[in-house]
Structure 1
Amino acid sequence: MRPDDWHLTEDVDDFLARAGDFLHSRPTLHTVPLTVTEALRTRGADAYGADAPIFGVLERAGEVRATFFRTPPRRLTLTPLTPEEADSLAAHLANLGHPLPGVNADRDTATSFAEAWQRHTGAMPTLHERERLYRLGTLTPPEPLPEGRGRVAGEDDRELLKLWHREFVTAIGGTPSADISSWADTRIVDERVTLWETPDGTPVSMAGRTPMVAGQIRVAPVYTPAHLRGRGYAGAATVEVSRAALAAGAGEVLLFADLANPTSNGLYQRIGYRPVADFAVYDF
């Protein structure tokens, strides 16, 4: 395979003109590139507090076979690749001098690319996280739900959302965005965060959702402060935000769970989410 089978661009509209139909053809597996490119298309690079993003499309005989994107300083995100395609991309990016902090993709693709990147650059890959993608079947609220209610986060919750988002990103080993205020403001305006609050009105958990793209919405993030866990609050918030996604017309409601956390994986399956595919995240 020739490395020049990969077309690279920094223009999200050019990328979507080439790869939009391909991404929409498998919206479940392509949920991350679909939601990220939609945010970049509508809000620009500020949507992720990133430097200029880079996109890639693998084309052969006029047909799109795969894509990638990266919003620096974050990891490279890939759609499924064969080992040969992963090696071609690794060679291409290495020859262009593109530094990469890591890769995020379905398990086989991530592993193939990590091994190829090591061959071409000498960088040692380290497995950062294993994730499972789930799709909602029949929503089944837990019985009993904890006391309290769900409500949409509003302007008065702005500082709380900023704090919890920062804590969530830190807890999963990420680096909080320098513009957390924008993250909170966008979700408040779009009514995309649901809080679970106790009967006295104290918020105890949050669950967010992405905008609908290609008929699918992804639940993210789900966060409960450490001292409030084990009381059913995350499950209640996830049920409420899942209902909101369905009410918004989503044909598919998705979420990712860290496979190192059996509690969350068990919870999501009990409320109706079913496994779709496993993903892996490597650091270089």
Structure 2
Amino acid sequence: MPWELTADVEAFVATAGDFLRSRPVQHTVMLTLVGTLRRRGLHAYGPGDPVFGFWRPDQSVEAVLIQTPPYPMMFSAMPAAAVPEAVEAVADRPLTGVNMLADTVDEFVAGWHERTGATTTVKMRTRLYLLDTLPPPARQIGQSRVAAAADRDLLLRWHEAFYDEIGERSPGGIVDDRLGYGGVVLWEVDGVPVSVAEFSRVEAGMSRVQMVYTPKEFRGRGYAGGATTVATRAAIDQGAEAVVLNTDLANPTSNGLYQRLGYRPVEDRTVVEFW
């Protein structure tokens, strides 16, 4: 069984780092996870111990996995032979779910059900977008600014509201981390914050726009588009050679917006819960 698991993030990076960096767009989330764990400690995402893995049938790594409990285990693209072996490799772990490419997930889920008897439910289908060409900013009401420490309480409330809406748990410490490198853009109208867009630290030349949120009372006025455009430019200004973002495929509004802003589809993923 060529899947190897480890709890040592440095050992994982030493073995699989080149593989992750070889496709930074597709591995955007994994690169961010690893960077955060190395910078903020292994429990940056929760009290559970993370696990890392790589599939190395010969000398080179061809697939990887990362789990930061309580979040689903995330897999990179995998050769066909790696899928059933992945089921066996992690069968003894208490998985809450998996995040996999759409063309791979069904085989893994079927194997997991057969191996463990777990019931499975599709929680979300997502699409990864890559910036192609960012159009000139549209004329609209309001202006942007980089969030500061004085905005922390507002951002904590908006994070809680955002993650409640999508049915997920907000990672601890993320607001303070992003404020620290200027990774939060607020859109304001008459001095009142009405929308926010954030972006990840640059890892392997790429950054990911995240947590685009507008309170319900301010939606439908283009504020999210303004915040996203500015956040994208800010990421580029911080050195990103590629900027990406993820969307929920069940939300046609956001998928349409990001394509109008110059983002193009790259790949689809499925998040499945086990219980």
What TM-score comes out, normalization by structure 1 length? 0.93
Q: Which runs of 5+ in 1 are unaligned?
A: none
Match status 1:237 vs 2:232: no
**1:206 aligned partner, one-letter code:** V
| C-alpha spacing 1:71/1:50, structure 2 compared with 1 (3 Å) | farther
Match status 1:136 vs 2:131: yes
Question: Any idea what SS the aligned residue of 1:64 has?
Answer: coil
Equivalent in 142, 147, 150 of residue 153 of structure 1: 147
Equivalent in 150, 167, 170 of residue 173 of structure 1: 167
Residue 181 of structure 2 corresponds to 190
Equivalent residues, number: 274
1:134 deviates by: 0.4
| Mapped contact 1:115–1:125 kept (Cα < 8 A) | no
Equivalent in 265, 268, 272 of residue 278 of structure 1: 268
1:109 deviates by: 2.2
Residue 42 of structure 1 corresponds to 39
Match status 1:120 vs 2:115: yes
User: Whole-Å Cα distance in 1 between the matches of residues 211 and 136 of structure 2?
Assistant: 19
User: Whole-Å Cα distance in 2 between the matches of residues 46 and 52 of structure 1?
Assistant: 7
User: Whole-Å Cα distance in 2 between the matches of residues 233 and 47 of structure 1?
Assistant: 31
Equivalent in 76, 79, 87 of residue 73 of structure 2: 76
Residue 251 of structure 1 corresponds to 241
**2:209 aligned partner, one-letter code:** V
Structure having the higher helix fraction is: 1
**1:105 aligned partner, one-letter code:** M
Moved more, 112-121 or 248-257: 112-121
User: Whole-Å Cα distance in 2 between the matches of residues 161 and 46 of structure 1?
Assistant: 22
Q: Which runs of 5+ in 2 are unaligned?
A: none
What TM-score comes out, normalization by structure 2 length? 0.96
- Percent identical pairs in the alignment equals 47
Residue 103 of structure 2 corresponds to 108
| Mapped contact 2:46–2:70 kept (Cα < 8 A) | no
| Mapped contact 1:242–1:253 kept (Cα < 8 A) | yes
User: Whole-Å Cα distance in 2 between the matches of residues 112 and 6 of structure 1?
Assistant: 17
Superposition CA RMSD, Å: 1.3
| Mapped contact 2:235–2:243 kept (Cα < 8 A) | yes
User: Whole-Å Cα distance in 2 between the matches of residues 59 and 135 of structure 1?
Assistant: 28
| Mapped contact 2:97–2:272 kept (Cα < 8 A) | yes
